[in-house]
Amino acid sequence: MAISTHESVGVGRPGGTPPPGAAVRRRSAWLGQHMGTAALAAVIGYTIGHYVGNSFANGYENVAASGQNDVSNVLALTLAVVGWLLGSGALNYPIAKLVGREPAPETEETGVGRFFRYSLDHKVVAMQYVIAVLLFLFTGGLLAMAVRTELLSPTTHYFGPGTYIALVSEHGTMMMMMATSVITGPIAGWLLPLMIGSRRMAFPRVEAFSLWTFIAGYMVILTALPYGGFPTGWTGYAPLQTQASGGMDSYLVGFIVVGSGMIAAGFNIAVTIINYRAPGMTWSRLPIFVWSLLAVASLLALATPTLATGCLFGILDRTAQTAFFVDEHGGSSFLWENLFWFFGHPEVYIMALPGFGIVGEILPVFTRKPLFGYRVGAAGMLGVALLSFFVWQHHLFQSGINPDMRPLFMLTTELISIPTGFIYLTAMGTLWKSKIRFEVPMLFALALYFNFLLGGISGVYLSDVPVNVTVHGSFFVMAHFHYTIMGGLIFAFFGGLYFWLPKMTGKVMNKKLSLIHFWMMFIFFNATFFPLFIVGLLGQPRRVFEYAQRLQGLNDFSTISAYLLASSFIVFTINFAWSIFIDPKPAPANPWDSLGLEWQVPTPVPYNNFDRIPLILADPYHYGEPVHTPVADLGVPAVALAGAGGGGGGPSGGLGAGAPAVDGEGGASDV
Amino acid sequence: MPVQDAGTRTSGAEPRHARRIVIMWVIAAAIADPLFYFLAGPHMPPGDMTSSAAGAQFDFNVLTMAALPVIIGVWIYGAYTLLTWRAGRGGPDPVMTPTSRSNIRIQTAWIGTTTIVVLSAFVFGTVELVVPAGAGGGEGPQPIWTPTSKTILPVQVIAQQWKFTYRYPTYGGFESDKLVIPDNTTIAFHVTSLDVIHDFWAYQLGVKADANPGTDNVAFTTTRADGKVTVRCDELCGIWHGAMYNYGEVVPKAQFQQWATSTEASLTAATKLLPPFAWSYTPSANGAGGSYYPDNVDAFSKTEVYGAGAVSAKTADQKSS
């Protein structure tokens, strides 16, 4: 391993070492580059692109005299994103290197301003991600409320059909974009280096790039609405895509933008896990969450380029008048379906696996038992990742393409339930003869298992070709993937937030509000989506604004539950704002009494995470032993490992047994 | 790694948890499965109006019979462990045993069981797909699993933004905006589209096939009973996708014959204005004219392949052109 365990100045600091003795000149933060300059540059880029596009492609409007010109749309959005990256400072380093200059050294940043800048500190990037992801999630959620409102009545319409389909498409696309990063961004970005004993991600600039493209993608996909929306749903099926008006450009550019961030994140996570593990962090000591991230990283890096390629073809079809997807000119609408779903199915495991990883971390802490079947669980995640590349045509069972291959895709799809079953095996084995503490993160973890059971089993119906004839494209599918993505990933995300926020922010969330949030979210999530299984079976297709009169009761029940589900997020937002910003209460260094390495560092976590690269001694699941095996030698003599039996249980061993627990900066500044 | 109390499974008064859970599970599953199959099963969608609908209903019920014990098992296990070993009941912290981290027997049994269940589901699904000739799903332009019936009625489903129309090639290729089909007959739906991707979902018939431009997607079913049919578009096709539905009817054979021949006669003039019958159509490059080129006018005749006795598609083409 290339990492020295010795203390050496500057090693592993993001951006390299400042020259020794050089006086670091600090300018006022507002003179530097930050979100404001990024937004300004984006607006300038948009204007230039729009002007240039109109100047040479004027007269190629999709709809005559609409003022909408796909060339100018695409150029404007692309240059806006380039401007956003230039203005934020994302490109300073590569440009400086390109012209042969040594870029300015990066120094540790303090103050609130760092959260608005292109930060290279993975902990700052992760907190930026938390806010970005919540913004993305709640925007998509508001659109969902609009969709459910329209479905209150089969005959009375609150929106026109064009607005309705734009809302549906915008909701689906935003949520899918958000879900790719909802855990790999905020939670993994914060935890991964800490969990493997590293001082940083392998490529801090690339991590920040993922974040800033993620925010750019949010804005690009929002521009679809003023462009008139797009009518294709998140799947963007092709002849309709070619036919659609200006909003489609936002979809295509947006997915390329978010996709480049996903590809970057995939490589970054994989390289970090493979190369930045501390000495002693063998593969069999890796936390299960890190295994899930390794699986996800491979999917992000390998599947997303297919989507970006497909979107590029789409853009060319719409601007340069190529015919990749145009049947009558020699293209094929099947091409988009294949390119899209070859990405699209690994994508759904990008959205499932990190959730499994999080509950795998939460369960041992709140059962006081080691994770059961650790190896099987890790193998299961890799197995899911591998198999997910061989199932994409189950989305096309009724499309008429490769009908004789349907049994094969039925087999591969059903095989995925074997490694997914491992996730349940690990959970059920861990619960056995344990001591279960029903803290809020644990409740979210248990809810994931409840929801994902229904989501996963409904997936077996969908994989069965004869039953698929009835359920394909109906609300049954829609309920199925909300049960897996929202019931799985989003529950895991909130469980992870409640679990790690005390470490990330140093503040505790209000427990009563957290419990209200959980129970409202759990009950009304199920009340919203379970009826939709029945609605689908009774013949309601997805994405319709008119449906059979007899289905109104179930739809209304679902809509009202959806409102209450949304209000649970208001509770969360109040709790979050109150507990983190308005009336913060300091959190203990290890409130859940966890053995994980990330809990053994002081709160707030120092800029470099570890003063000395730790020496890993054991995996973090040594619960239930009379003397805890310490997870790592942190090289902090005479300071109790904050985790080993902290909390209320008293010190129960470890390297610093018996010493008083030191919280906060004390431990770090002593050294 | 210090390990104490190795192998304490049941110590003294400790109840035999595993046996309790299994007993509860067996009883619950034994009640739930027949209850579902006999009470709910016959009413499960999409009914039994056709062979493929009945097949879908049967498959759905079989899958549910397999799924219920799994769901019930996990629920009972979860409820039992959460109630029995909750921290609120007090008791000592769990002690590490050799089986806390892994138990080869349980893991092997788990993997073996899930594999057997999954492979059975695959075999069952494949048989149910192949034997009933595609189970009502779209089988592409050259279906490999075809019905054995000698008299197959071909019906072409033409989807366009935002309506369905139906052409009857064996009746001169006339076009109707209502789907009428005879009972106790094997039907071959030839689904195609004139613009974007649609999906022909005849709910009560248990038929679903994507309508792709330039492609002939074939789905088979055999009607059993008379009744009304709802046809919905099941693939997002633009802003009026939600309003793209119409109704059809399964009627007695004689009534169908009477309807088809009289409609063919009354629409003779209109049929002449249509593009000659073809398995798919390409929009005219001139766009606004609204005309369509027939593709594959004399391509392989699929109706002959299925052995439809009456009139082959070829003669239908000659008649109309």
**CATH code of A418's domain:** 1.20.210.10
Dihedral-angle region of residue B4 (phi above 0 means left; psi in -120 to 50 means alpha; beta otherwise)? beta
One-letter amino acid at B200 equals F
Both tokens of A607, joined, read 């800029």
Q: By the 8 A CB rule, do A116 and A38 touch?
A: no
- Name the B residues in 259-288 with CB < 8 Å from any A CB: 282-283, 285
Which residue of A231, A469, A618 is in closest CB contact with B137?
A: A469
Distance from CA of B297 to the nearest CA of A (A): 16
End-to-end Cα spacing for chain A: 25
Question: Per the domain annotation, does A572 fall within a domain?
Answer: yes
Select from A239, A367, A429 the Cβ nearest to the Cβ of B196: A239
Query: Is the same domain home to A188 and A318?
Result: yes
> Would you say residue A200 lies in a domain?
yes
Residue B177 phi/psi, 5° resolution?
-100, 10
CA A399/CA B144 separation, integer angstroms: 15
Positions in chain A whose pLDDT score sits under 50: 1, 4-16, 21-22, 638-671
At A245 the three-state DSSP class reads: coil
Please tell me which residue of chain A has the smallest CA distance to B115.
Answer: A418
List, in sequence order, every residue forming a beta bridge with A632; answer none if it has no partner: A616
Q: Chain A partners of B2 at a C-beta cutoff of 8 Å?
A: 625-627
Same-domain check for residues A190 and A54:
no
Distance in Å, alpha carbon of B225 to nearest chain A alpha carbon: 19
Residue A29 pLDDT: 60
Measured in angstroms, the CA of B61 and the nearest CA of chain A are apart by 10
Partners of A7 in the β-ladder: none
The single residue listed with the structure tokens 């026109």 is: A160
B85 CB neighbours in chain A (<8 A) are 367, 431-436
**A79 Cβ neighbours under 8 A, 6+ residues apart:** A45, A46, A48, A49
Last residue of a domain, one of A582, A614, A639: A582
Nearest to B67 among A376, A460, A538 (CB): A460
CB contact residues (below 8 A), chain A span 335-374, against chain B: 337, 367-374
Closest residue to A436, CB basis, from B46, B74, B82: B82
DSSP one-letter string for A345-395: HHHHHHTTHHHHHHHHHHHHHHHTSPPTTHHHHHHHHHHHHHHGGG-GGGG
Cβ neighbors of B67 (< 8 A, separation 6 or more) are A457, A460, A461
Calculate how close chain B gets to A148, using CA atoms only, in Å.
14
A398 and A296, same structural domain? yes
Q: Are residues A561 and A502 in the same domain?
A: yes
Q: Is the dihedral of CA B257, B258, B259, B261 positive or negative?
A: positive
Residue B109's alpha-carbon distances to A432, A593, B105, B112, in angstroms, are: 17, 33, 6, 5
For β-strands B245-251 and B292-295, DSSP reports them as unpaired
Residue at A571 is within a domain:
yes
Q: CA A310 to CA A264: how far, in whole Å?
A: 18
Phi and psi for A115 in degrees, rounded to 5? -75, -10
Cross-chain residue pair B81–A431, CB shorter than 8 Å: yes
| Shared-domain flag, residues A228 and A366 | yes
Q: To which H or E segment does residue B193 belong?
A: strand B186-193
Q: Which residue of B has its CA nearest to A534?
A: B45
Locate A211 and state its tokens: 């974040």
Q: Coil, strand or helix: which one is A215?
A: helix
Q: Min CA distance, A182 vs chain B (Å)?
A: 27
Using alpha carbons, list the distances in angstroms from residue B266 to A136, B247, B301.
Answer: 58, 21, 27
Compute the CA torsion angle A325, A327, A331, A336 (nearest 10 deg).
30
Tell me, yes or no, if B213 comes closer than 8 A to chain A by beta carbon: yes
Alpha helices in A160-246 (DSSP H): 161-181, 186-196, 204-222, 238-243
Among A498, A499, A491, A415, smallest CA distance to A450 is for A491
Q: What is the complex's ipTM, to 2 decimals?
A: 0.86
Give the number of other CB atoms < 10 A from CB of residue B47. 18
Q: Which of residues 189-228 of A touch B (CB under 8 A)?
A: none
The helix/strand/coil state of B222 is: strand
**Quick one: A91 and A149 in the same domain?**
no
CB B138 within 8 A of CB B210: yes
For residue B76, what are its two tokens? 């009972």
What are the residues whose beta carbons fall under 8 Å from the beta carbon of A25, sequence distance 6 or more? none
For residue A570, what are the domain limits? 135-582
Does B93 contact chain A (CB < 8 Å)? yes
Domain end (from A528, A550, A582):
A582
Which 405-434 residues of chain A touch chain B by CB within 8 A?
Answer: 406-407, 410-411, 414-415, 417-418, 421-422, 424-425, 428-429, 431-434
CB contact under 8 A, A466 and B115: no
* CA A192 from centre of chain: 14
Residues A526 and A461 in one domain: yes
Q: What six digits make up the tokens of B72?
A: 């019930």
Cα separation, B219 vs A469, in Å, equals 11
**A233·B132 Cβ contact <8 A:** no
| B237 to chain A: closest CA residue | A240
d(C-alpha B312, C-alpha A437), whole Å: 73
Chain A residues 475-534 with CB within 8 Å of chain B: none
Instruction: Pick from A241, A366, A470 the residue to mutate for testing the B interface (most B CBs within 10 Å).
Output: A470
User: A71 Cβ partners below 8 Å, 6+ apart?
Assistant: A53, A54, A56, A57, A60, A319
User: Considering only CA atoms, which of A565, A378, A533 is closest in space to residue A455?
Assistant: A533
Measure the CA angle with vertex B198, ends B192 and B204; round to 5°: 90
Pair A444, A310 in one domain: yes
Using 50 as the pLDDT threshold, list the residues of chain B that sit under it.
1-11, 286-290, 296-321
Q: Which of A379, A389, A224 is nearest to A304 (CA)?
A: A389
| Whether residue A207 sits in one domain with residue A93 | no
Q: Cα separation of A156 and B30, whole Å?
A: 46
Residue A624 lies in a domain: no
Give φ, ψ of A594 to 5 degrees: -95, 155
Into how many domains does chain A fold?
A: 2
Are A539 and B240 in contact (CB < 8 Å)?
Answer: no
Chain B residue with Cα closest to A470: B206
* B138-177 CB burial, b ≥16 within 10 A, e <16: bbbbebebbbebeebbbbbbbbbbbebbbbbbbbbbbbbe
Interface of A with B in 139-158 (CB under 8 A): none
Distance (Å, whole) CA A407 – CA A400: 14
Chain B interface includes A472 (CB < 8 A): yes
Per-residue DSSP letter, A624: T
Whole-angstrom Cα distance, residue A101 to residue A99? 6
In a shared domain, residues A221 and A77? no
Selection from A645, A649, A641, A646 nearest residue A667 by Cα: A641
The two structure tokens encoding residue A566 = 């949304």
Judgement on whether residues A198 and A281 belong to the same structural domain of the protein: yes
**DSSP 3-state assignment of A103?**
coil
Q: How many CB pairs under 8 A join A and B?
A: 295
Model pLDDT, residue A67: 65
CA distances in angstroms from A515 to A213, A438, A488, A559, listed in the order given: 34, 10, 18, 23
Q: Domain for residue A530, yes or no?
A: yes
Domain-ending residue, one of A547, A564, A582: A582
Are A433 and B230 a contacting pair at CB < 8 A?
no
Residue B150 Cα, gap to closest chain A Cα (Å): 23
Q: With an 8 Å Cβ cutoff, are B136 and A465 in contact?
A: no
Contact B87 A401 (CB under 8 A): no
Residues A239 and A366 in one domain: yes
B217-222/B163-168 β-pairing: unpaired
Tokens at residue B15, please?
Answer: 């109840």
Residue in chain B closest to A539 (alpha carbons) equals B203
In a domain, A517, yes or no: yes
- Indicate whether A331 belongs to any domain: yes
Residue A647 lies in a domain: no
Instruction: Tell whether the torsion through CA atoms of A71, A76, A78 and A79 is positive or negative.
Output: positive
Find the DSSP H helices in A485-551. 491-505, 511-537
Contacts of B1 in chain A (CB under 8 A): 618, 622, 625, 629
